[in-house]
Amino acid sequence: MKPTGEETMRIVAARALRGHRTCFVGIGAPSAAANLARRIHNPDLLLIYESGTIGSKPNVLPLSIGDGELAETADSVVSVPEIFAYWLQAGRIDVGFLGAAQIDRTGRLNTTVIGPYQRPRVRLPGAGGAPEIAAAAREVVIMLRQRPEAFVERLDFVTSVGRPARVITDLGVLVPDDGTGELTLTQVHPGVTVDQARAATGWPLSVAADVGETAPVTEEELAVLRALEQ
């Protein structure tokens, strides 16, 4: 079995949950990564969904963040105001995942529109919980496929702002520079070259002096991820 770039992205994101207590989970890639982490790296990880379920233990990945199984397997189910005020804003979230249509070199994200706001070429879903996750999670981990149309010089709309801990793509990992805060390639996945990452970035990509290579995806990681995502 060989992982796709997107599978590697989720698996690397799951590894980033080692040693953390709480994770704020959105649907899609974040949910896959968080549930993978709970199965392999961090069985005590508390999954908190924005629908208000705390400590959900789903057996398969839910299609939506409000599926019945999330409530039925939770330690506690609270209202939406409570999850945002007493959990996210209160700083109880160790790791929050975000995805986006566009990212800029400081890690700001756009999930709102492509094109001008009043007359967009593509109307995207919008903010959801991203602004508050970006503002309040202790670590923000961004997952998105690395393409020049996504890694852009200038966002069409700033949906969320906040220094991410890391950006995990299908090609590698970017981390903000300690000084400038600019996203810097520090790691590539097995078989990926730095030049590929440069070519997939819409700005002149900053690259660390010593770019590491992602530890290979294990058989177990891939098998568990695929079982979750069936």
Partner 1 sequence: MAPVFASLHDAVAELIHDGDTVAMEGFTHLIPHAAGHEVIRQGRTDLTLIRMTPDIIYDQLIGAGAARKLVFSWGGNPGVGSLHRLRDAVEHGWPRPLELAEYSHAMMASAYVAGASALPFGVLRAGAGTSLPEQNPALQSVICPFTGESLTAVKAHRPDVTVIHAQRADRTGNVQLWGIVGIQKEAVYCAQRSLVTVEEIVDELAPMPGAVVLPAVTVTMIALAPGGAHPSYAQGYYRRDNAFYLAWDATSRSRESFGAWLRGVRAGS
- Closest CB 1 distance from partner 1, rounded Å: 25
> Is residue 179 packed enough to be buried (19+ CB in 10 Å), middle (13-18) or exposed (0-12)?
exposed
Please tell me the distance from the alpha carbon of residue 128 to that of residue 113, in angstroms, as a whole number: 13
Per-residue b/e over 110-131, b at no fewer than 16 CB within 10 Å? Answer: bbbbbeeeeeeeeebeebbbbb
Strands 113-114 and 122-123: antiparallel
> Among 19-27, 35-43, 144-152, 220-228, which window interacts with partner 1 (CB under 8 A)?
19-27
Q: Which of 125, 178, 204, 219 binds partner 1 (CB under 8 A)?
A: 125
Site string for partner 1, 84-103 (x = CB under 8 A): xxx-xxxxx-----------
- 107 counts as binding partner 1 under rule CB under 8 A: no
- 128 counts as binding partner 1 under rule CB under 8 A: yes
Per-residue b/e over 18-49, b at no fewer than 16 CB within 10 Å? Answer: eebebbbbbbebbbbbbbbbbbbbbeebbbbb
- Closest CB 39 distance from partner 1, rounded Å: 18
> Among 32-40, 72-80, 174-182, 211-219, which window interacts with partner 1 (CB under 8 A)?
72-80
Q: Which of 39, 66, 182, 208 binds partner 1 (CB under 8 A)?
A: 66
Can you state the angle between helices 5-15 and 29-40, rounded to 10 degrees?
50
Active site residue 50: yes
Active site residues: 50
Residues that bind partner 1 (CB under 8 A): 21-22, 27-28, 44, 46, 50-55, 62-68, 70-72, 75-77, 79-81, 84-86, 88-92, 108, 112, 117, 120-123, 125-132, 134-136, 157-161
